[in-house]
Amino acid sequence: AQKITQTQPGMFVQEKEAVTLDCTYDTSDPSYGLFWYKQPSSGEMIFLIYQGSYDQQNATEGRYSLNFQKARKSANLVISASQLGDSAMYFCAMREMSAGGTSYGKLTFGQGTILTVHP
Amino acid sequence: DAGVTQSPTHLIKTRGQQVTLRCSPISGHKSVSWYQQVLGQGPQFIFQYYEKEERGRGNFPDRFSARQFPNYSSELNVNALLLGDSALYLCASSLYPGQNSPLHFGNGTRLTVT
């Protein structure tokens, strides 16, 4: 079973509008972290935002916010006031901390969503 | 401060050859991880090293090996290259492997096997 599911292969948004990128996850581990990364065409993975499984409030970092719905196992990324430079691939990832063993510290990534911002 | 640096940026090898990829973590970071990203997919975990010891290994064959040096830099070695090893290899560092310690990635090494 997929641990991280990103159902939107591609998304389009108008410049200055907000956009939501979907992410659902599957884990039985009570302790986990959720991350969003941006990957421009250059290939570098840029860390955007983190949400811990025990965090009571949704994480925010500038124009990025994470809509964390624990019961539904979703961790959607909201980008407000989109900019042309936001056009990139976006990955949702999870780290399960109780797994231990050979999975210690590993991040599991989804398939990604390509975001295109139109002027 | 310098970010994670990887070398080389691009590499072309022939099937059956061996390759070594190098990574220098962010200063002060003691954990280094390696990921393979095939075109159109998300990165897949290969190895994690923390304090010079292997702490995690993904589902990759024994042709893949790695090590971490006393200065926390790392090398990934791949033997007997196959066409399917063509990918972007990403190195990431973090302060520690803990839940809330984000990985900071380098620009990657793009390996092409012909």
Averaged pLDDT, groups of 10, chain B, 114 residues long? 90 98 95 94 93 89 96 97 97 81 91 98
Q: Which of A43, A91, A106 sits opposite B56 (nearest CB)?
A: A106
Which pLDDT score is estimated for B1? 62
User: DSSP secondary-structure letter at B18?
Assistant: -
Q: Where are the beta strands (DSSP E) in A1-119?
A: 4-5, 10-14, 19-21, 24-25, 32-39, 46-52, 60-61, 64-69, 74-79, 88-96, 108-109, 113-118
The whole-number pLDDT of residue A101 equals 52
Q: Which amino acid is at A106?
A: K
Please report the number of interchain residue pairs, chain A to chain B, with beta-carbon separation below 8 angstroms. Answer: 75
Does residue A46 belong to the interface with chain B, where contact is any CB pair within 8 Å?
Answer: yes
Between chains, do A107 and B43 touch, taking CB under 8 Å as contact? yes
Q: How far is CA B99 from CA A49, A88, A112, B92, B94, in A?
A: 13, 26, 21, 15, 11
* Chain A residues close to B90, C-beta within 8 Å: 45
Which chain B residues are Cβ-neighbours of A97 within 8 angstroms? 98-99
Q: Is the Cβ of A91 closer than 8 Å to some Cβ of chain B?
A: yes
Per residue in A27-61, pLDDT (tens digit) is 988 888 999 999 999 888 999 999 999 998 999 99
**Spans in chain A with pLDDT lower than 70:** 1-2, 98-105
For residue B92, the model assigns a pLDDT of 94
